[in-house]
Amino acid sequence: MAGSTLEIKDLHVEIEGNEILKGVNLTIKGGEFHAVMGPNGTGKSTLASAIMGHPKYEVTKGSIHLDGEDVLEMEVDERAKAGLFLAMQYPSEISGVTNSDFLRSSINAKREEGNEIPLMQFIKTMDENLDFLDIDKDMAQRYLNDGFSGGEKKRNEILQLMMLEPAIAILDEIDSGLDIDALKVVSEGINKMRSENFGCLIITHYQRLLNYITPDHVHVMMQGRVVKSGGPELAQRLEAEGYEWIKEELGIEDETVGQ
């Protein structure tokens, strides 16, 4: 089976009347890893939230399609069922719901009624993934992200990714706050997902993550748009030289979305 395609065209997004995204174009296909980089406040997280349907982010123009289906017409849960996944920059803490129950419910919500994942299969898969990500088994029974350290939350996001097996994942600064060992483990988790049936958008500030996860495409966001795209060598140049050369090349004075 060929992978999915997420197609974003001329996307404009407002938050409380301020236009943040000003015409984003991006296509992510199954099998492809895309990195989105860019200075602070240029709209990267806004793009992630808009794709997943955060109610605060109003799409005023443009389109998002997943395999031809209009994502903007879908509720958040429908987007997840359709195969989209967002690992958030700041995952929420949810008391009263264990990590394990959350994962099992999320997996079953994506399946047809009567075709729920058998408990033993769920436990086996979760144990394998906990092992792979070097997560303490007790964490499965703790409330979702409740009291988790910053690094534990990020590992937990990748646990969800590996358990839910989405078609297209958006990973928003999954490397922030990770120590070097955790960065390697998280990267291995993401790399393990690599297949024709999985596409990924990785928002990051640092080339160091891309030393572990080789992107096929690298994009730079400024002023709420993708202003430059290239291969992995673009990320290397950004690490060495910063963003000034792009601003000069494109005649950009203020790279933020500016309000």
Ligand X SMILES: Nc1ncnc2c1ncn2[C@@H]1O[C@H](COP(=O)(O)OP(=O)(O)OP(=O)(O)O)[C@@H](O)[C@H]1O
Q: Which residues bind ligand X (CB under 6 A)?
A: 15-16, 20, 38, 40-46, 56, 257
* CB 26 within 8 Å of CB 44: no
User: Strand order of the sheet with strand 225-230?
Assistant: 84-87, 168-172, 199-203, 33-37, 217-222, 225-230
C-alpha span between 137 and 148 (Å, rounded): 13
* CB 65 within 8 Å of CB 23: no
C-alpha span between 77 and 138 (Å, rounded): 28
Task: Tell me the closest approach of the beta carbon of residue 258 to ligand X, in angstroms.
Answer: 8
Task: Tell me the closest approach of the beta carbon of residue 47 to ligand X, in angstroms.
Answer: 7
Task: Tell me the closest approach of the beta carbon of residue 44 to ligand X, in angstroms.
Answer: 4
Task: Tell me the closest approach of the beta carbon of residue 139 to ligand X, in angstroms.
Answer: 26
Task: Tell me the closest approach of the beta carbon of residue 10 to ligand X, in angstroms.
Answer: 18
Cβ-count burial 32-59 (b if 16+ within 10 Å, e if not) = bbbbbbbbebbbbbbbbbbbbbbeebeb
Which is nearer to ligand X, 104 or 153 (by Cβ)? 153
Q: Which parts of 53-118 fold into alpha helices (H)?
A: 76-82, 99-110
Which is nearer to ligand X, 156 or 223 (by Cβ)? 223
* CB 106 within 8 Å of CB 164: yes
* CB 132 within 8 Å of CB 189: yes
Structure tokens given for 135: 């997560």
Structure tokens given for 176: 């922030």
Task: Tell me the closest approach of the beta carbon of residue 202 to ligand X, in angstroms.
Answer: 13
Task: Tell me the closest approach of the beta carbon of residue 70 to ligand X, in angstroms.
Answer: 23
C-alpha span between 53 and 97 (Å, rounded): 23
Which is nearer to ligand X, 38 or 166 (by Cβ)? 38
Which is nearer to ligand X, 20 or 82 (by Cβ)? 20
Name the residue among 224, 241, 240, 255 with its Cα closest to residue 8: 224
Strands 33-37, 18-29: pairing is unpaired
Which is nearer to ligand X, 20 or 185 (by Cβ)? 20
Which is nearer to ligand X, 43 or 189 (by Cβ)? 43
Which is nearer to ligand X, 16 or 112 (by Cβ)? 16
